[in-house]
């Protein structure tokens, strides 16, 4: 009985699209590592492209799930769940790529990542003067103190990544929903 439910769950096109998007994110991180340009991983364009891949997974997954919908009804809840499935799988596989790179491929990536993040924070906040120097120093201290290579750190970051992507999932679900009600004259 449980195996049947798992088969039905993985038969959803949104799951497939999420796994595919996660695979693209995984490959992108591996390529950035292999080309010895790990700093590219922290550029806004990389983050934006990663978001576009996840957005495409949400749209394509919802579109495919909508085609499978019965009686021409694909409610907002169904569309939102399609987006959630796509985002969840993409983010989990993307996080798994970081976990593999930090723990099994190159342990020095943790210190490199922290150094890059600290440089970006110093550069960004010192120019904008958005926070005081003491808060900036505290933020840098917290980054240095953090351990980016433990599995629990990845699990703690997972809800935030899913939630931040699902903000756009709300819009995608709203656009993708279909509710066709037959008119009483047509009956």
pLDDT in tens, 120-171: 777 777 676 667 777 777 777 777 777 766 666 667 777 777 888 888 888 8
Q: Which residues of the chain carry a pLDDT beneath 70?
A: 1-2, 5-10, 70-72, 126, 128-130, 148-154, 178-187
Say if 76 falls within a structural domain.
Answer: yes
Say if 63 falls within a structural domain.
Answer: yes
User: How many domains in the chain?
Assistant: 1
pTM of the model: 0.79
Say if 130 falls within a structural domain.
Answer: no
Q: What is the pLDDT of residue 144?
A: 75
- Domain of 100, in residue numbers: 2-107+149-176
Say if 81 falls within a structural domain.
Answer: yes
Say if 154 falls within a structural domain.
Answer: yes
Say if 118 falls within a structural domain.
Answer: no
**Long-range contacts of the stretch 73-77 (C-beta < 8 A, 24+):** 73/178, 73/179, 73/180, 74/176, 74/177, 74/178, 74/179, 75/177, 75/179, 76/173, 76/174, 76/177
How many Cβ atoms are within 10 Å of 158's Cβ, its own excluded? 14
Say if 113 falls within a structural domain.
Answer: no
DSSP 74: E
**Spatial contact of 87 and 57, defined as CB atoms under 8 Å apart:** yes
Say if 8 falls within a structural domain.
Answer: yes
**Spatial contact of 91 and 22, defined as CB atoms under 8 Å apart:** yes
């Amino acid at each position: 009985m449980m195996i049947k439910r798992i088969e039905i769950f993985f038969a959803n096109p949104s799951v497939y699209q999420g796994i595919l998007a996660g695979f693209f994110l995984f490959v992108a991180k591996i390529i950035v590592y292999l080309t010895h340009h790990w700093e590219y991983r922290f550029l806004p364009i990389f983050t934006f492209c990663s978001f576009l891949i996840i957005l495409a997974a949400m749209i394509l997954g919802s579109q495919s799930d909508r085609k499978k919908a019965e009686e021409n009804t694909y409610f907002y809840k169904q569309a939102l769940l399609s987006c959630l499935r796509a985002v969840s799988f993409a983010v989990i596989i993307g996080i798994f790529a970081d976990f593999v790179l930090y723990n099994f491929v190159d342990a020095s990536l943790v210190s490199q990542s922290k150094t890059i993040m600290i440089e970006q924070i110093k550069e960004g906040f010192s120019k904008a003067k958005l926070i005081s120097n003491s808060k900036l120093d505290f933020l840098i201290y917290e980054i240095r103190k953090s351990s980016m290579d433990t599995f629990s750190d990845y699990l703690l970051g997972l809800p935030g990544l899913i939630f931040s992507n699902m903000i756009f999932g709300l819009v995608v679900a709203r656009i993708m929903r279909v509710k066709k009600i037959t008119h009483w004259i047509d009956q």
